[in-house]
């Protein structure tokens, strides 16, 4: 999948498609909470496999049971279709 920047209308629709994600500073952001560190780190491992599969990787951090994720397409300077694709996959995995 080739990365393409989202236009303003597509950016505006993020809240509808991904209501838990916030658009800020040319990134979409989400914080996820888990029962413990093992669950959080296990989730990150699963996301890492998805991200590697599409060659699009998150900026993220983990502190105990919390995972903070920021998605942007650095080489395009903003949010792209790849960020939405990865965020959607992350949401499906989180809700599974």
What is the DSSP code (8-state) at residue 65?
T
Q: Which of 14, 12, 6, 29 is nearest to 77 (CA)?
A: 6
Per-residue pLDDT band at 74 (split at 50, 70, 90): very high
Question: How far is it, in rounded angstroms, from Cα 54 to Cα 20?
Answer: 22
| Residue 6 burial (CB count, 10 A) | 20
pTM value is 0.95
pLDDT at res. 1: 83
Q: What are the tens digits of pLDDT across the range 75-84? A: 999 999 999 9
DSSP 59: E
How far apart (Å, rounded) are the C-alpha atoms in residues 36 and 70? Answer: 21
* Digit-coded pLDDT (tens) for 6-25: 999 999 999 999 999 999 99
Region 18-33: mean pLDDT is: 97
């Amino acid at each position: 999948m080739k990365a393409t920047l989202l236009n303003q209308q597509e950016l505006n629709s993020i809240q509808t498609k991904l209501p838990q994600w916030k658009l800020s500073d040319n990134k979409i952001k989400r914080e996820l909470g888990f029962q413990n560190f093992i669950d959080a780190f296990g989730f990150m491992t699963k996301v890492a496999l998805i991200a590697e599969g599409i060659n699009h990787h998150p900026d993220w951090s983990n502190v105990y049971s919390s995972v903070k994720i920021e998605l942007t397409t650095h080489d395009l300077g903003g949010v792209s279709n790849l960020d939405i694709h990865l965020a959607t996959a992350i949401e499906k995995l989180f809700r599974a």
